[in-house]
Amino acid sequence: MKGLFKNKSRLPGEIVRQTRDLIALAESEEEETDARNSKRLGICAELCRNIRDLKSILYGNSEAEPVPEACLLLTQEFFREDTLRPLIKSIPKLDLEARKDATQIVANLQKQQVEFRLVASEYLESNLDVIDSLVEGIDHDHELALHYTGMLKECVRHQVVAKYILESKNLEKFFDYVQLPYFDVATDASKIFRELLTRHKSTVAEYLAKNYEWFFAEYNTKLLEKGSYFTKRQASKLLGDVLMDRSNSGVMVKYVSSLDNLRIMMNLLREPTKNIQLEAFHIFKLFVANENKPEDIVAILVANRTKILRLFADLRPEKEDVGFETDKALVMNEIATLSLIDIKTADR
């Protein structure tokens, strides 16, 4: 092979096997006395070099682009003898650079194909406890948590992984992870949360239909009502995207038929920050556009008509948006002409 293997004697499969052996050896040395500390340090140094070499094969380096044949051999060996699990397990014990390299290796392997198959997806389907470990890793300290979110962001692209997280206790943790005090970790967790709820549409639609009550009770309470500015803004944007996806039309109709949900949106419209108001508007307009509004929702809209119209008169994005202005005009016109008498007449 050309490129990366010019002047190098070790082939990808060999490096993977040596890495696996070094991880096992490092673990066995952990319980030894301090007298063997130098040996343990030597093993760790060699392990870090191997991990760096694996990353170079997958990503290339300053001298060469990655070689497809080399990536294929590395991927085959990685999953043939289950090297992914011990590599992930070893991350807390590696130095910072090796942690970064290992994180990038795990992320890259999610995209590698063997005979047009995403072997990482097949592997994870049979080893879902690995996903549990990645999710639990977010509970570590700040620096370690970033590595686990970095790996998990790529793993949730697999439908089997997203489905597993949605249907397990792991999902509940993300309502807290997206509000962690470390902005970069919370941002990563928010990206994962969004992937879980938007990428695999059929899986999401099925999940929300089966778990509607629990999910939206958590979502409304933890993210929309009690969240910080960042949390409310991100959660409002995500909720709007979920509800407006055609795959979730049944869920959307159910959501906008709830008086409690309308009250939450009206509270968000009263937030002092325009960004949250704008995101809330895109959800609020779904309540107004609902052709079969429940009577209690119509009553609230009519009772608050003047306040709503006054608020919307001054509501506009910083940059001119013709689509927004069109939607706003339609919403304001609908609210201005709403009448409880019309609803009662239609029900007869």
DSSP classification of residue 191 = H
Beta-strand ranges (E) seen in the chain are 113-114, 117-118
- pLDDT of the residue at 9: 62
In DSSP terms, which residues pair with 118 in a beta bridge?
A: 113
- pLDDT of the residue at 342: 54
- pLDDT of the residue at 6: 43
Domains of the chain by residue range: 1-113, 128-199
Distance between CA 90 and CA 127 in Å, rounded? 17
Cβ atoms of 158 and 110 closer than 8 Å: yes
- pLDDT of the residue at 34: 54
Distance between CA 170 and CA 131 in Å, rounded? 9
Distance between CA 148 and CA 325 in Å, rounded? 42
Query: In terms of Cα–Cα distance, which of 178, 149, 288, 185 is closest to 238?
Result: 178
The burial of 287, by beta-carbon neighbours within 10 Å (0-12 exposed, 13-18 middle, 19 or more buried), is given as buried
Distance between CA 44 and CA 30 in Å, rounded? 11
- pLDDT of the residue at 329: 97
Q: How far is CA 149 from the centre of its chain?
A: 9
* Per-position DSSP letters for 96-119, written without gaps between them: HHHHHHHHHHHHHHTT-EETTEEH
In DSSP terms, which residues pair with 136 in a beta bridge?
A: none
Task: Chunk the chain into consecutive blocks of 10 residues (it has 348) and report each block's average pLDDT, rounded to whole numbers.
Answer: 50 96 87 64 94 97 92 96 96 96 98 96 97 96 94 98 98 98 96 98 98 98 95 98 98 98 98 96 98 96 97 92 95 93 51
- pLDDT of the residue at 346: 44
Tokens of 302: 């009519």
Provide CB contacts within 8 A for 284, sequence distance 6+.
Answer: 262, 265, 266, 269, 331
